[in-house]
Amino acid sequence: MIDPVVSLSWWQQHRDDVVLADVRWYLDGRSGQDAYEAGHLPGAVFVDLDQWLAGQPSAEEGRHPLPSPALFAGGMARLGISDADTVIAYDDAGGTTAARLVWMLRVTGRSAALLDGGLQAYSGPLETGTPVREPAPFTPRPWPAEYLATIDDATDPGHVVIDARDRARYRGDTEPVDPRPGHIPGARSLPCRENLTPDGAFLPVPQLRQKLADVGVTDAAELISYCGSGVTACHNLLMIEHAGLGRGRLYPGSWSQYSHTPRPAGTGDTP
């Protein structure tokens, strides 16, 4: 299978053989669709996170629960993405949103990767038109249980749990969208945006491995990743796979589910 992260030069060499997906989305409510229409990488299709990569939000399941396999498959088919396609996804935030699509494709056996550096890595002219792709066959496949974690798994001290949110949210200094601040007790802070250089590309693999070692991650076998709503947590999972440590599990409900329960919350820098 393709590495979870590919370079701009790789995409340029293979651009006729892959589907490019723009997965811009903003926590502050700005429209990813509007950003796409204002200018996107040549040939890219827009994948709406809320429409195709998440189910209906609820207190019980979180803000971005995984969609049904049928909904996800219907969205991909409608966009002209087939089971056999290789998808290269990007956004304008270092892949922190696009990672959700890449993770969903990879765990269901498809070929997909993040474009390292995303939109900022490309210096050529952007397109404003929407490419026309014919609907393609995309088969609904169940979400594999071996790559998913429940709220009980995320509170089990036998697992290594990492939190992809910014440190201020982990500490409980601020909470812009969920009912209460803090983190899952025992979770270690590994902000996904700190995996990136200032221009939005991944740090070199030796540096990523060191960052992981610093929070006690040397293997993904017992690892669970979460964030606010199960989106940027995928970025950490892809980073860990890119660093050669295997595949961990996603807690899809993440803090948006946990914070609606009466379970205790940790605060400060201590797990």
Interval 132-180: pLDDT, tens: 899 999 999 999 999 999 999 999 999 999 999 999 999 999 999 999 9
| 111, β-bridge pairs | 86
Q: Is 14 helix (H, G, I), strand (E, B) or coil?
A: helix
Q: Report whether pLDDT(130) > 90.
A: no
pLDDT of res. 132: 85
Establish whether domains 5-143 and 146-258 are of one fold.
Answer: yes
Select 146-258's CATH number: 3.90.650.10, 3.40.250.10, 3.30.310.10, 3.40.50.970. 3.40.250.10
Interval 191-248: pLDDT, tens: 999 999 999 999 999 999 999 999 999 999 999 999 999 999 999 999 999 999 999 9
What single letter denotes the amino acid at residue 135? Answer: P
What is the arithmetic mean of pLDDT over 27-45?
95
Q: How far apart are CA 3 and CA 238, in angstroms?
A: 9
The mean predicted confidence, pLDDT, of the chain is 96
Q: Is 247 helix (H, G, I), strand (E, B) or coil?
A: coil
Per-residue HEC secondary structure of 131-167 comes to: CCCCCCCCCCCCCCHHHECCHHHHCCCCCEEEECCCH
Q: How far apart are CA 186 and CA 89, in angstroms?
A: 32
Count of all residues that appear for the chain in the document = 271
Q: How far apart are CA 217 and CA 221, in angstroms?
A: 10
Give the model's confidence band at 1: pLDDT under 50 very low, under 70 low, under 90 confident, else very high.
confident
Q: How far apart are CA 33 and CA 35, in angstroms?
A: 5
| Active-site residue flag, 227 | yes
Domain boundaries, the chain: 5-143, 146-258
| 202, β-bridge pairs | 196
**Residue 185: alpha-carbon gap to chain centroid:** 22
**Class of domain 5-143 as given by CATH:** alpha beta
Q: Over the Cα atoms of the chain, what is R_g? A: 18
> To which H or E segment does residue 46 belong?
strand 45-46
> To which H or E segment does residue 5 belong?
strand 5-6
Q: How far apart are CA 209 and CA 230, in angstroms?
A: 22
> To which H or E segment does residue 210 belong?
helix 205-214
Interval 78-125: pLDDT, tens: 999 999 999 999 999 999 999 999 999 999 999 999 999 999 999 989
Tell me the angle at which helices 232-242 and 98-107 cross, rounded to the nearest 10 degrees: 60
Q: Which of 227, 233, 237, 240 is catalytic?
A: 227
